[in-house]
Structure 1
Amino acid sequence: MRIAIDYVTSNTDDKSDTIRQAELRHNPRSFLKLILLGFSIIGLPLIAALIYSATRIDQLAEQSRKTVYQATQITHGSSILIDEIIDMERSVQHAHILEDLSLLKGYFQAHVNFEKTAIKLLEVSPHLKQQLLLEKLRLFETTIFREMLASYDTPQNLRNLLDQFTSLLILAQDFSTENYQLIGQNVNEMSEMAAHARTLVEWELVILIPFVILLALTFSVFMARPLRQLDEAIYNMGQGKLSSAVRINGPENLKYLGSRLDWMRRRLLKLEEQKILFLRHVSHELKTPLTAIREGANLLAEGITGNLNKKQQQIADILHTSSIQLQKRIEDLLSFSALQADKTALIKQRTNLAHIITNILKDQNLSIMSRKIKIELTSPDLLLECDKQKIGIIIDNLLSNAIKFSPQGGSIKISTIQIGQIIQLDIIDNGIGIDISDEDKIFEPFYQGRSIPNSHIRGTGLGLSIAREYALAHGGDIELIKHIGPGAHLRLILPIHDPEAQP
């Protein structure tokens, strides 16, 4: 019936996993796409700022080029106009003095050059004031030219035109001066534009850099969260914490991976339950025939069935000792099963720790005598609220571990001391010690260290694990203390008063 239930449950889990997988694949969104999206959003403000800055710089460069070109053309043109006016005045003056109208040929050529230059300046002049001055200058020169045509036949009339050339030259110089002022104004405008562009770029940097950093941090947290959840889920599964469901928030492919991890967690949880059930059943099944074996060996050792010779007595003692050790292994398995099933209720009462230690030493006396181990005990009467049976198991496991790893004829130091509201129990042996690579694993269930004890009997690897769980249940702990010299130093820490008791 149980198999059928497990089969139905397994089919239900498989169906739910299939449905969830289909839902996840219905809207795929990969972690790579999330990274690309993050980089795109982070890079978009930078790209926009870069394009804007490049556009502004390009506009500034184009404006500068045009301004420089116009200033050069107008300056050069103003110089040409002044030169042509001087040439025209010189030609008219020569024709008047020498009364030779053929000398006016230079005037007409200068007039043509003046007109061409003025037209070009009108095309490149960007300011209305320049254009008005240029039109006034051109109109004045045209008026002189018309008067020249009217006085062409009489060289004596040319005298009246010479004074007008002086006014025309002054007007041309005013135009040139105005051009220089306008060029200076354009330069100032270009400087202001450059300063404004530089200020905009600085403000872009001041605003964009923190904004981009904030975006980067936001996306980093958003992208790191599912990875952190995956890492936490894997770590919890590795530590045997299988009660919490695995939930991954993020891209669909990581959610799907989280669903597969949750499926693995449920499978491991079922296997853990089956393992605990198996250990419980096997332990109980072994305990019944072992009781009969132990009682029979005890009857033989005590000579109830008849007197035994020396060799028979030794065999009976070995059977009795081995049955006790095997019973302890089975009790370790039962204790471990109870711990895994959260059946670790403590029955606390006020107890003298020294009495517990003395009773444990009596139980271990045969092993201590067989290995000729010297016990150095320093244990004053110390009262504490605890579960006497569980504390006895803790001390028994610690002492058994010390005896197992102690050499023949070695020594074990046991000392207790009260520090404030804490009782500290130290057990130090002079055996082979604990390998450095085993220090972080000695409290794990079923772990067998690399150091090989001087005994043919191998433990289950549950003694220290059970001892620490019981110590934690009392609000204490067991620590491995580093010390100079051979052997191992284990310390049990227990509170005197029950930490869960009402004040």
Structure 2
Amino acid sequence: MKRTLELPGLRYPRSFLKLLLLGFGLASLPLILALLNATAYVDRLTTQSQAAVDQAAEAARGSRVLMEQVTAMERLARQYLILGDAALLADYAKVRNGFKRTTSDMSLLQLDESQLRELNRTIEKEQALFEQLGRKLDKGAGRKQLIGGYVELSELANNVLNQSNLLIDREIENMGEAARRTQRSLLWQLAASIPLGVLIAMLFAFLIATPIRQLYHAIRQLGSAEFATGIRVRGPADLEYLGQRLEWLRQRLVELEEQKTKFLHHVSHELKTPLTALREGSELLADGSSGVLNRRQSEIAEILRHNSLRLQHLIEELLGYQQALASINRIEFRPVDLSDIARKVAEAHKLAIAARNLELLLRLETAALIADADKLRVVLDNLVSNAIKYSPEGGTISLAVRAEQDRIVIEVDDAGPGIAAEDSERVFDWFFQGKRGHQGRVKGSGLGLAIAREFVLAHRGTIDVITERAPGAHFRVILPALRTQG
């Protein structure tokens, strides 16, 4: 079973659903925190902006009222100086009381230094003018100086109003700067929370994928009949329990494989001894060692001899099947040249080809790869044997090996009855025997192509029947041109 990375000391939740919910919750947590923090920032900015607007508006309102009051006091003072009416002085005192309340309220606001300085100068100037107004003034220079003082007081009140307008502008600018700072802060938080959320999501994706991947490899291992390695799944309790059941299934399959192997081994060897005696007896009868046989007796002896040969062939194939199953997972990768293996296989079948008056066409290119030479020899041997079995007398068999970029291609063609399209996949099943007639003397067991497919798959290759060509059967094997072992 393929090993997977595990985090030491990590404790999974008891269920896969809890792991999913925990993953979704933690992955969304940074974004939720960023959203809450953004809400707090906006609330704070709103509160600060409202306070600043209120203060600036109050300062502007107070400055306008102050300007109106100074104007009213100047008018009353001029009238008093001209008319000398005591009622005008009383009205002046009332307006002055409002002036004092206004300046007192404005002094409580959070004004800056320049505003406070102008406000204090205005208060001091008005106090000096009021004291001067209460004294008896000559009608010449004294009154002129007093009127000039009120003009200066108006200018000071106007300065206070201008400072209030500047305060409004500064507060607007400050609110804009605060908004920009808040925006930058929120962008930085967003820039940090998104990667953090993605990182947490990737972590939980790994934690979720690890047991799933372990289950996938375990099921694939069982499907490929790789029973040597134990199955262990680490994750939530429900997935671990599923892994334990798969391990139990693996052990049961191992026991069944051992029982099947023992059964085949026992039956094959138990049959070989009486079969050998039966075949030798039929041979003695057929060659006349026990006396001359008539025609009918000769036919019976030939039937016995033919079927004993067939039974011996089937037993040998069963033993070969047993050995093939045992060796599928024992692949010894070495540098090989597939064209050399193909020549040796062709040489091994030379007598069988000559006996059937067949022609074997070899189209072999240098095809170097890292593979198990014995397993590939079995593949080629079974494909060529299959072609010889189904080729008619005097037919032609083609064996081609070529290299194509990063793969090696093997093609074996014969001129026999071919393979039906509906059997193109089933022909590689264990013990499958198609409907097409064969020309060999002994009927096959349906194991050769199945063994060939297992050995090809063990090399991470493919074997297929090419149904587009006619006549005959056409097999194509594609192997990766591996450059490193494994």
In the other structure, the counterpart of 2:350 is 358
Q: Which structure 1 segments of 5+ residues have no match?
A: 1-25, 369-373, 382-386, 495-499
Is the contact between residue 418 and residue 472 of structure 2 (CA under 8 Å) also seen in structure 1?
Answer: yes
Q: Secondary structure at 2:358's aligned position in 1?
A: strand
Contact 1:375/1:414, CA 8 A, preserved across alignment: yes
Q: Secondary structure at the match of 1:426?
A: strand
Pairing 1:261-340 to 2, within 5 Å after superposition: 261-304=246-289, 305-309=291-295, 313-340=298-325
One of 387, 396, 414 as aligned partner of 1:413:
396
Judged with a 3 Å threshold, the aligned counterparts in structure 2 of structure 1 residues 459 and 352 are, in CA distance, closer, same or farther, namely: closer
Q: Note if 1:448 corresponds to 2:432.
A: yes
- Could you tell me which amino acid in structure 1 is paired with residue 210 of structure 2? R
Matches within 5 A, 1:139-154: 139-142=124-127, 144-145=129-130
Q: Does 1:433 align with 2:416?
A: no
Which range moves more in the overlay, 121-130 or 78-87? 121-130
> What's 2:50 paired with?
65
**Aligned pair partner of 1:217 in 202, 206, 212:** 202
* CA-CA distance at 1:104 after TM superposition: 4.5
1:181-234 CA-to-partner distances (Å, cap 9, x unmatched) read: 333333333332222222223333333333333333233223212211110111
Whole-Å separation in 2 of the counterparts to 1:71 and 1:266: 84
2:85 to 100, 112, 117: 100
Residue identity in the other structure for 1:308 = N
Q: Is residue 114 of structure 1 aligned with residue 75 of structure 2?
A: no
Q: Is the 8 A contact 1:56 1:197 kept in 2?
A: yes
Question: What is the RMSD of the two structures over their aligned residues, measured on CA atoms?
Answer: 4.6
Instruction: Measure, in 1, the Cα distance between the counterparts of 2:41 and 2:311.
Output: 89
> Structure 1 residues 491 and 47, CA, compared in 2 at 3 Å: closer, same or farther?
closer
What residue is the counterpart of 1:230 in the other structure?
215
Instruction: Verify: 1:79 aligned to 2:64, yes or no.
Output: yes
Q: Which amino acid aligns with 1:413?
A: T
Give the Å deviation of 1:332: 1.1
Q: Is the 8 A contact 1:28 1:253 kept in 2?
A: no
Retained in 2: the 8 A contact 1:130–1:179? yes
The amino acid across from 2:166 in the alignment is Q
Q: Distance in 2 between matches of 1:52 and 1:107?
A: 56
- Counterpart pick for 2:234 among 249, 253, 271: 249
Aligned CA distance change for structure 1 residues 460 and 110 (closer, same or farther; 3 Å): farther
Per-residue CA shift, 1:407-449, capped at 9, x if unaligned?
xx687532457879x997834244242647744x6555x2527
Specify the code of the residue in structure 1 equivalent to 2:62: G
Displacement after TM superposition at 1:462 (Å):
1.7
- The residue type equivalent to 1:249 in the other structure is R
TM-score (norm 2): 0.74
What is the TM-score when the length of structure 1 is the normalising length? 0.72
Match of 2:450 among 461, 465, 485: 465
From the superposition, tell whether residues 135 and 355 of structure 1 become closer, same or farther in structure 2 (CA, over 3 Å): closer
Calculate percent identity across the aligned residue pairs.
Answer: 35
Name the amino acid aligned to 2:212. L
Q: 2-side partners of 1:434 and 1:298: how far apart?
A: 39
Report the Cα offset of residue 293 of structure 1: 3.3
Contact 1:130 1:178 in 2 (8 A): yes
Shift of 1:82: 0.5
CA deviation digits over 1:257-304, x for unaligned, max 9?
222222221221111111111111111122223333333444444455
Q: Tell me if structure 1 keeps the 8 A contact 2:417–2:473.
A: yes
Matched, 1:204 2:189: yes
Secondary structure of the residue that 1:192 maps to in structure 2? helix
Within 1, Cα distance between the matches of 2:162 and 2:331? 107
Q: Indicate conservation of the 8 Å contact 1:226/1:254, yes or no.
A: yes
Residue 175 (structure 2) pairs with residue 190 (structure 1): yes
Q: Residue 256 and residue 358 in structure 1: after superposition, are their counterparts in 2 closer, same or farther (change >3 A)?
A: same
Equivalent AA in structure 2 for residue 85 of structure 1 = V
Alpha-carbon distance between aligned partners in 2 of 1:108 and 1:240, rounded to the nearest angstrom: 111
Aligned counterpart for 2:23 among listed residues 38, 58, 63: 38
* 1:55 shift after superposition: 2.0
Aligned to 1:10: none
CA offsets 1:4-59 (integer angstroms, 9 cap, x no match): xxxxxxxxxxxxxxxxxxxxxx9963233333333333323222222222222222
The answer for the alignment partner of 2:7 in structure 1 is none
What's the CA shift for 1:240? Answer: 0.2
Indicate conservation of the 8 Å contact 1:357/1:392, yes or no: no
Q: CA deviation at 1:90?
A: 1.3
Distance in structure 1 (CA, Å) of the matches to 2:63 and 2:378: 113
Question: Structure 1 residue aligned with 2:119, among 111, 124, 134?
Answer: 134
Q: 1:282 to 1:108 in 2, by over 3 A?
A: same
Structure with larger RCO (C-alpha < 8 A, sep 6+)? 2
- Against the structure 1 CA distance between its residues 113 and 309, is the aligned structure 2 distance closer, same or farther, given a 3 Å change threshold? same
Which aligned pairs between 1:166-185 and structure 2 lie closer than 5 A?
Answer: 166-185=151-170
